[in-house]
């Protein structure tokens, strides 16, 4: 971590969790997949409500090509079941999303699973994302069928 990053981490730590989350979201809003923002996520602890705000913003409200790798960043500081719950709220609708859910997100989440209930939550999300009623017909890839 360079001096600028250390200074930004210190600034975030000096704020409340809510203020730090707001600052991070506003500073890095609309900048695509900014890896600096994701490094800064690990600089402090976050209250649960702020974890949810940050995940919704960076993973779902402004999705980017690199967001699939970002799930691992979020899984490093938030409950796996909470992260899976947020992912389940988001509807993965197109074939590219479904491909990434299957081949990028699933292995990352399974690697982080620490209990049978974690694994069950992941499997439920995967089943919903592939075969859920909310998906228009023909949006999934044939590779996901079992």
Q: Which two tokens stand for residue 115?
A: 């209990």
Q: Where are the domains of the chain?
A: 1-64, 79-146
What is the per-residue pLDDT for 94?
65
Q: pTM above 0.85?
A: no
How far from 110 is each of 39, 59, 99, 123, 138, CA to CA, in Å? Answer: 22, 18, 16, 9, 27
Whole-number Å distance between alpha carbons of 42 and 37: 9
Helix (H, G, I), strand (E, B) or coil at 48: helix
Distance of alpha carbon 136 from alpha carbon 94, whole angstroms: 9
C-alpha to C-alpha distance for 42 and 38, rounded to whole angstroms = 7
Residues 144 and 102 sit within 8 Å (Cβ to Cβ): yes
> What pLDDT is recorded for position 17?
97
Residue-wise pLDDT for 35-89, tens only, equals 778 888 889 999 999 999 998 888 877 655 566 677 778 888 889 889 888 887 8
């Amino acid at each position: 971590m360079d001096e600028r990053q250390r200074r930004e981490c210190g600034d975030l730590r000096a704020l409340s969790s809510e203020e730090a989350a707001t600052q991070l979201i506003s500073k890095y809003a609309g900048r695509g997949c900014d890896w600096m923002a994701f490094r800064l996520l690990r600089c402090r602890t976050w209250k649960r409500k702020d974890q949810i705000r940050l995940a919704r913003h960076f993973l779902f409200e402004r999705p980017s090509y690199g967001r699939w790798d970002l799930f691992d960043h979020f899984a490093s500081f938030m409950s796996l079941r909470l992260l899976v719950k947020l992912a389940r709220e988001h509807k993965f609708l197109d074939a590219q999303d479904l491909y990434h859910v299957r081949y990028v997100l699933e292995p990352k989440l399974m690697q982080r699973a620490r209990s049978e209930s974690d694994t069950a939550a992941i499997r439920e999300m995967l089943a919903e994302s592939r075969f859920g009623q909310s998906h228009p017909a023909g949006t999934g890839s044939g590779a996901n069928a079992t």
